[in-house]
Chain A
């Protein structure tokens, strides 16, 4: 393996951050420029949104159920089993719904985008697109960013609801909590800030997933091996960024809303 000097390493990393920032900002700026690729956006929304639905349904249900199962024992010890609806509700809506959905979609779609665009780069299809007078940023990147942001927003809502449903199944079937009481407490505990926090996060995560996936795709070099490397890096980078941004966003929003 070739060794690089610390200066070159730092220069490469800074250049990568600069290129990523340019790609991310151009993907947003293209929303206000013609042409707009509505059909491509719809196609991506179908691939990302509808395609991710089974995995989101499965994880949402199981995370809600596991959350209820794990917390029920502790609550039972304090005689507070009736609070299980509140716990699942706040946990799912504020934190687990967005982050689990984000990580799932990142694993599925960030890698998909990196491999698709990476293959297009190494087979000169991106150059061909530019040669044909089409801006790949507008045609390929912006539709993916828009559709991921929009679809992740709705997928997170679905995940939250299914998490609550999974929690209710465990609570009522295993711990004999009243179904109506569960849903009532789950609904009552939620405040505007909780819902807002839970819905801001998927927008940020969706943006990260699409821009990171596209960035690693369009910068892929070195044939099929390079595409494979780009795919792996896209999943790792988007997952790490999601976790970091989640922490920052949670802290920031809590401070903003003077959280209880």
Chain B
């Protein structure tokens, strides 16, 4: 049987590094047209951890990601990302911070007038004086990560929904960002394509140790992530050995009526006595 993703030492290091959160929300509130969406929420995302955010539609899951990126400003509270308070930063200063973060949007948000190559290379071409030849290698690597090398010259409109999501992942990871934000990456996709995308997220978590926030409606996706690890030898997602279940840096966060009603790991989630949570996960 293949070895679990983290050795004891790695886990020890991971625990130490988790002391300093990469994302910290402190008493964050936001309302739209008089309706409170987030009401003083606080949580931490540790280094190397992937945290899945759940909640009913309109509960503010995607808003959390946009707030973390500084695309929106909260009405109250503070958000620290990689040590910087994004609520106090000007838009011009946020661009440097955003270069360390990758985001996969709900509907992919690929630039429809650019080819897959130009979409994936966008950040590299924007960041400096690099030629198209110089970005070819990282583009190919990034597309090979999502197994879509053949689509390099195609336009987003020529791709299926699942392929567009995978290109969006390739675009987000090309610069190996410190944080990845996934907004419903499997929403509206068939089970096979969803599993492919879940596998890519697990690969990013276990191979590159990227800290991530994952917004999803699909509880089963997060449970698969908590129960599997990425095996580099077979280049496949594998189930964790018995006794190691949940021994991956995977957290769960559940929103209800603008508040966080659960923030913990898979064991704590399974042990929860809260009626709403029990109903949610059943």
Chain A interface (Cβ < 8 Å from any Cβ of B)? 35, 120, 123-125, 127-135, 139
Which residues in window 83-140 of B have CB below 8 A to A? 91-92, 95-96, 98-99, 101, 103, 105-107, 109-112, 122-123, 126-127
A177 to B98, CA, bound (A): 68
How many inter-chain contacts with C-beta < 8 Å in the A-B complex?
Answer: 54
Q: Contacts of B159 on A, CB cut-off 8 Å?
A: none
A103 to B46, CA, bound (A): 56
Would you call B69 an interface residue if the criterion is a C-beta within 8 Å of the partner chain's C-beta atoms? yes
Q: Which 9 A-B pairs have the closest CB atoms?
A: A128-B109, A133-B99, A124-B109, A131-B103, A133-B98, A133-B95, A134-B126, A132-B123, A124-B105
Residue of B nearest to A116 (CB): B113
Q: Contacts of A129 on B, CB cut-off 8 Å?
A: 111
Q: Do A135 and B95 touch across chains, with their CB atoms under 8 A apart?
A: yes
A129 to B92, CA, bound (A): 13
A178 to B229, CA, bound (A): 89
Q: Do B111 and A128 touch across chains, with their CB atoms under 8 A apart?
A: yes
A129 to B98, CA, bound (A): 10
Q: Do A127 and B71 touch across chains, with their CB atoms under 8 A apart?
A: yes
Q: What's the least CB distance linking B270 to chain A, in Å?
A: 34
Would you call B66 an interface residue if the criterion is a C-beta within 8 Å of the partner chain's C-beta atoms? yes
Q: Do A130 and B112 touch across chains, with their CB atoms under 8 A apart?
A: no
A123/B123 contact (C-beta < 8 A), A130-B98, A132-B98, A133-B96 known: no
Q: Do A127 and B99 touch across chains, with their CB atoms under 8 A apart?
A: no
Q: Contacts of A131 on B, CB cut-off 8 Å?
A: 69, 71, 98, 101, 103, 105
A133 to B126, CA, bound (A): 8
Q: Contacts of A124 on B, CB cut-off 8 Å?
A: 105-107, 109
Q: Contacts of A135 on B, CB cut-off 8 Å?
A: 91-92, 95
